[in-house]
Amino acid sequence: MPFYYLQKFRAGTKRLKTIASEHYVINISATVIAGAGGTSNQGGGAGAGGMLEVTNEPLLNGETYTIQVGGGGGAYSSAAGTNSFFGTTSIAQGGGPGNQGGNSDGGSGGGSSISGTPGTASQGNTAYGVGYGNNGGTGITSGGYYLGGGGGGAGTAGSNSSGQNGGVGGNGRASAINSTTYAGGGGGGQGNISGTGGAGGSGGGGAGGRPSTGVAGAQNTGSGGGGCADIGPAGGNAGGSGIVILKMLSGQYSGITTGSPAIDTATAAGFTILTYTGNGSYTA
């Protein structure tokens, strides 16, 4: 190769290497869990927020990635939870509400009462993540009393109500990052004092009321609120808010965050884990 062209080739190669060093890509893992549904009176347990396990998602060095932690649906509201997300592609769907009727679909579906069908899980996979969510259980009447189905959890579906008891909430699922169980479904309510409200699913699901107000889903677990089968003013309870957890090699951790995430360097040697319980951002 002539000297002139050789010099140009070397200069171009050096420039490409400089660009690559300024904008290199790092890969991270994440657990993204949405807010869970809330419940109303005469309702089933609420569905857990959808759960997304992300592996090797590429981040561009110097770019800032927005993090949203979804809120839970309110008490006595039949409101779905809101989505959680990291960046623009890793989105977990809000959990479905437990209610008397209408749409109870969500990340995990809410349980039904007598006048509706149980919610269907809507959490799907993404480009780098595997989604987890399950359907809610079916409610019935027994001796003139309302019995709500359990809300779906990230691990298992909510159970149907049976006998004189509300349905049990579906179990949650352990995070691949910290092994903590999240996203349990809410238990179905029970209107007859001789029966029991459904237990909440593992991971923070609220128990169903008998016939009093159900128990709220645990905050920052994406777990559903417990239902209440009372016809009167007593109602169900709120769903738990979600959580976003990021894991990366400690040597690639930039230290640039907003939202004050908890920083953990002890759980996994050589890795840094960021846990967001509220909105924030991470700059790679």
pLDDT per position as a tens digit, 49-78: 999 999 999 999 999 999 999 999 998 878
Nearest 5°: CA angle at 253, between 247 and 258? 85
Name the one residue in this structure whose structure tokens are 């050789």.
Answer: 6
174 versus 15: the higher-pLDDT residue is: 174
Name the residue among 248, 281, 279, 277 with its Cα closest to residue 264: 248
Nearest 5°: CA angle at 166, between 223 and 218? 15
State the average pLDDT over residues 97-124.
83
Q: By percentage, how much of the chain surpasses pLDDT 90? A: 64
Rounded to whole angstroms, how far apart are CA atoms 279 and 40?
A: 27
Beta-carbon count within 10 A of 8 CB = 12
- The answer on pLDDT for 15 being more than 50 is no
**Which element (helix H / strand E) includes 67?**
strand 64-68
- Average per-residue pLDDT for the chain: 87
| Whole-number pLDDT of residue 110 | 86
pLDDT digits (tens, 9 = 90+) for 242-262: 999 999 999 999 999 999 999
CB 216 within 8 A of CB 226: yes
Rounded to whole angstroms, how far apart are CA atoms 32 and 15?
A: 38
Output the pTM of the full model. 0.89
Between 18-22, 152-156, 264-268, the lowest mean confidence (pLDDT) is in 18-22
**3-state secondary structure at position 4:** helix
State the average pLDDT over residues 216-235.
84
CA distances from 229 to 40, 233, 240 (A): 9, 11, 20
pLDDT band at residue 8, thresholds of 50, 70 and 90? very low
